[in-house]
Amino acid sequence: MTPDRPTARTARAAALGLLLLAGSAAAAGRRPNLVWVMADDLGWGDLGCYGQKVIRTPRLDAMAREGLRFTHFYAGATVCAPSRSVLMTGLHHGHTRVRGNAGKENPLAQALRPGDVTVAGCLRKAGYATALIGKWGLGDVDTAECGLPGRHGFDVFFGFLNQHHAHNHYPDHLWRNETRVPLPNVVTPFGEFGGGHTADGILFADDLMTDEVLKFVSRQQDRPFFLYWSPVIPHANNERTRAVGNGAQPPDFGPYAGTGWPDPDKGQAAFVTRLDGYVGRLLDHLRLLGLETHTLVFFTSDNGPHNESNHDPSRFQPSGPFRGTKRSLTDGGIRVPGIAWWPGTIAPGRETAHVAYFGDWFATAAELAGATPPSGLDSISFAPTLAGRDADQRRHEFLYWEFHERGFSQAALYQGRWKGLRERVPDAPIALYDLQTDVFETNDLAAAKPDLAATIDAWLKTARSENPDWPILPPPAGSGKPPKP
């Protein structure tokens, strides 16, 4: 998956493209601000601009109309922690540090280590102010010497360190840098991982974190900044689902209050619409400060949609036309929204079928910032696509994912079209799907196209590096049931 080496011609084209792409910002004598907004468990089909018919997302739909909508954008993984690790390191799922959700038994397996180079660290070294606001998930107080955001390139952090802590939208504390900030919410502990739920919440975490986003932008408006904003919604409170049967607890049901739906359905829809409003507030704030032409905002989700709040997914069809959800390596679990917004630089109303993924953010951000990324990344800048220069856009031959729950599974996307999938058993034959004609991944072509299947199978055998924290294990006994859809 290593990118092709650029020729002198492509290098000159890239340099010219960077000048064109950053035209507005360069004209003002500054490098562009870079904002990555990543929802938690939001599906490809949860937004109106991706086909949603029930949930209202007017601000994100407008953002897509004003910018560029990716139709083939992929998360780093099908679950939280490894997807974030791919984003931070620019290394694909078989090379990045964190390969899965580890839990409390081995917290170091879910933490970045000293020496891991992140996109935030690269941009900070290049003179950018850096902030992470929201959910981290790549190190906790138990791994403080190596896994906290401030040790990996972020000047400012406000939010959740631990992903299980982040399940509760009304926590009794958040973290500001490495200081615990008490909140007046009263939490009832529940479950084995330190989660809990709040019966009568006072302060909603994502409201607080959105306020912090606007404050950071205001404070840094006179210098280039990188903001990684990671809201928790629409992720469910899994512990609340098990305790009271409803894991979707927004401050209010908004426009869905009078629908007559069950409360979990109202809550899930309200989460998505509330998230939509948050993004609208950011875009409005950038305009208020006159920063919109200096700022690239990219919106996406960390993986496919969840089914964990006791809501009815069939009401909303959050996976869109794809099969599977979170924890699936079919496209429903890994293909996610991708919206790029940069008024005056990205032409409005555009759509691209360029195949990109989280790991590409590192090269893209570094190019736009004039920073020097480390060698050996699995990252190709999609800056030419942002600029509308499709002829100059380099492409991955392969994209890669793996999954460590219920056995070991792998998936690869070859030439942006052919999907190879091996589920649960490390040496099982792969299934082969043509995503150009079969987006639901139902027609296995491995027998009909043995050469293609063999090409992907051979690559999968060499795609990953060994990681003692994440060995390849056989499926547990009694796990012969097919994977969850």
| pLDDT at position 52 | 98
| Any domain includes 378 | yes
> Identity (one letter) of the amino acid at 60?
L
Domain boundary among 345, 374, 396: 396
Look at phi and psi of residue 310 and say left if phi exceeds 0, alpha if psi is from -120 to 50, else beta: left
List helix spans (H) across 162-262: 205-219, 238-244
pLDDT (tens place) for every residue of the chain, 485 residues total? 444 434 444 444 444 445 445 444 444 468 999 999 999 999 999 999 999 999 999 999 999 999 999 999 999 999 999 999 999 999 999 999 999 998 777 889 999 999 999 999 999 999 999 999 999 999 998 887 788 999 999 999 999 999 999 999 999 999 999 999 999 999 998 877 778 999 999 999 999 999 999 999 999 999 999 999 999 999 999 999 999 999 999 999 999 999 999 999 999 999 999 999 999 999 999 999 999 999 999 999 999 999 999 999 999 999 999 999 999 999 999 999 999 999 999 999 999 999 999 999 999 999 999 999 999 999 999 999 999 999 999 999 999 999 999 899 999 999 999 999 999 999 899 999 999 999 999 999 999 999 999 999 999 999 999 999 999 988 877 655 444 33
Same domain, 188 and 282: yes
Residues 457 and 375 in one domain: no
Please give the pLDDT value at position 479: 56
Domain end, chosen from 372, 396, 420, is at: 396
Residue 140 belongs to domain spanning? 31-396
- Contact present, 289 and 221 (Cβ < 8 Å): yes
**Pair of tokens at residue 183:** 């909140």
| Same domain? 341 vs 315 | yes
Single-letter code of the amino acid located at 446: A
429 and 295 part of one domain: no
299, β-bridge pairs: 37, 339
Same domain, residue pair 419 and 471: yes
DSSP 467: -
User: Are 484 and 358 part of one and the same domain?
Assistant: no
End-to-end CA distance of the chain, in Å? 28
- Determine the Cα–Cα distance for residues 304 and 335; give it in Å rounded to an integer: 7
In a domain, 18, yes or no: no
Number of domains in the chain: 2
Q: Is residue 21 part of a domain?
A: no
**426: its two tokens:** 């490390």
- DSSP, res 51: T
Single out the residue in 396, 423, 458 at which a domain terminates.
396
